[in-house]
Structure 1
Amino acid sequence: MIGLDWTLTGLGAFLGVLAGAAFFAGLAWGMRIALRRARPAPVLLLSAGLRIAALLAVGYWVAGEGGTSMLLGFAGGFLVARVCILMLARRPVPEEAARWN
Structure 2
Amino acid sequence: MIVDWPDALMGFGVGVTVSILYFAGLAVSVRFALGSSRPTSILLPSAVVRIGLLLAAGWLVTDGATLAWAFAGYGVAFFLVRFLATVLARIPRPRPEDV
* Range class of TM-score, shorter chain: 0.7 to 0.9
- Hey, what does 2:37 align to over in structure 1? 38
2:36 aligned counterpart, secondary structure: coil
Which consecutive unaligned segments of at least 5 residues does structure 1 have? 97-101
Which consecutive unaligned segments of at least 5 residues does structure 2 have? none
Deviation for aligned residue 1:34 = 1.2
- The aligned runs of 1:29-68 (5 Å cut-off) are 29-64=28-63, 67-68=67-68
- Hey, what does 1:86 align to over in structure 2? 86
How far does the alpha carbon of each residue in 1:21-55 deviate from its partner, in whole angstroms, 9 at most, with x for none?
Answer: 01100001111111121111111100000000000
- Hey, what does 2:18 align to over in structure 1? 19
Q: Which TM-score applies when normalising by structure 2?
A: 0.86
CA distance in 1, matches of 2:17, 2:11: 10
Number of positions where the alignment pairs a residue of Structure 1 with one of Structure 2: 96
CA RMSD of aligned residues (A): 2.1
2:62 aligned counterpart, secondary structure: helix
Q: Which TM-score applies when normalising by structure 1?
A: 0.84
Q: Give the AA of the match of 1:16.
A: G
Larger Rg: 1
1:92 aligned counterpart, secondary structure: coil
Q: Give the AA of the match of 2:84.
A: C
Runs of 4+ in 1 over 6 A off after TM superposition: none
**Residue identity (%):** 36
Deviation for aligned residue 1:93 = 3.8
Q: Give the AA of the match of 2:33.
A: A
CA distance in 1, matches of 2:24, 2:54: 13
Q: Give the AA of the match of 1:54.
A: L
How far does the alpha carbon of each residue in 1:53-88 deviate from its partner, in whole angstroms, 9 at most, with x for none?
Answer: 000100111121771111100000111111111111
CA distance in 1, matches of 2:93, 2:32: 23
Deviation for aligned residue 1:92 = 3.2
